[in-house]
Chains A and B, each alone.
Chain A
Amino acid sequence: AQKITQTQPGMFVQEKEAVTLDCTYDTSDPSYGLFWYKQPSSGEMIFLIYQGSYDQQNATEGRYSLNFQKARKSANLVISASQLGDSAMYFCAIQRPSGSRLTFGEGTQLTVNP
């Protein structure tokens, strides 16, 4: 079974600063996918970034980057130049095998202060 752990229930960051949201995972499978989603108060789930277990380079998507440390089983999300609109709940998720269900962490509530 797969497990995702997000140890930060809440995080605060000043506007325009960078912030790192932690995520560790546990799986015995060699092939898996790691995802980050953003959930604003409206409830929709917005896909941010994906990292495959065999990807050699860390994934990046605009202001989002994923700090993937395979040996430590961590997949931290880095948001650069935070904006007020980044305030939301952020979920880390793992998928194995490919195309199957996602297992989510407990989430981190990010608040960006002006």
Chain B
Amino acid sequence: GAVVSQHPSWVICKSGTSVKIECRSLDFQATTMFWYRQFPKQSLMLMATSNEGSKATYEQGVEKDKFLINHASLTLSTLTVTSAHPEDSSFYICSALPTGKYGYTFGSGTRLTVV
């Protein structure tokens, strides 16, 4: 139980285009979803925290107009990278905490390459 499905697993897009990443909690309701970014051989850095039905809270230095987060339902949160540039190429991964559990469940991640 407690599965978060993340799509796509990988995506290549042209510079200037937008990419949407979806995270769905399959068997639990995710009131809160955390979005992380990970550059090669580095740790996970929190980008933003999204709460169902309200605006996301972004970490310092993260452009909210570039990384649009929508959490319209208790089972779906999306991250849209707008006007992507090569420096946005990274591994993006979402996470949620199922009720009654200690371990945060992570999606499988999305490798974004902007060319």
Contact = CB atoms under 8 A, between A and B. Distances in A.
A87 B95 CA distance: 23
A50 B103 contact: yes
Contact of B42 (A42, A52, A103, A106): A106
Nearest to A106: B43
B104 A35 contact: yes
Contact of A44 (B32, B34, B103, B108): B108
Indicate the member of A35, A103, A104, A105 with the most B CB atoms within 10 Å.
A104
Interface string A31-70: 0010101000011110100101000000000000000000
Nearest to B34: A101
A93 B2 CA distance: 20
B49 A101 contact: yes
A99 B32 contact: yes
A97 B106 CA distance: 19
Interface string B70-105: 000000000000000000000101010100001111
Interface size classification for chain A: 10 to 19
Contacts of B106: 37, 44-45, 47
A2 B36 CA distance: 17
A2 B84 CA distance: 31
A106 B99 CA distance: 28
B44 interface: yes
Nearest to A105: B43
Given A50-B102, A101-B34, A101-B49, A43 B108 contact: yes
Interface of A: 33, 35, 37, 42-45, 47, 50, 52, 91, 99, 101-107
Given A43-B93, A102-B44, 16 more contacts: A33-B102, A35-B102, A35-B103, A35-B104, A37-B106, A44-B108, A45-B95, A45-B106, A45-B109, A47-B106, A102-B46, A102-B104, A104-B45, A105-B43, A106-B42, A106-B43
11 contacts: A35-B103, A42-B108, A43-B93, A47-B105, A47-B106, A50-B102, A52-B102, A91-B43, A101-B49, A106-B42, A107-B43
